[in-house]
Structure 1
């Protein structure tokens, strides 16, 4: 499958946007889990 430069650019852009958001969500999730465990 051939990718045009524009498609490659869009995919790279989506990656750069989605990866930090995913990391942020995962960190928040673990932080909340730790917080709940400390309260108990």
Structure 2
């Protein structure tokens, strides 16, 4: 399990490491899937 923090304001501020972790994940649990969907 990995916990990945996402930026509060601009989703473009997501780090490269966080983006890679999300892309490798088999499953993602998110508070707001509407915003998280744009990161995947």
**TM superposition score category, shorter chain reference:** under 0.3
TM-score by length of 1: 0.26
Higher relative contact order (CA 8 A, sep 6+): 2
Larger gyration radius, structure 1 or structure 2: 1
Identify, as 1 or 2, the structure richer in helix. 1
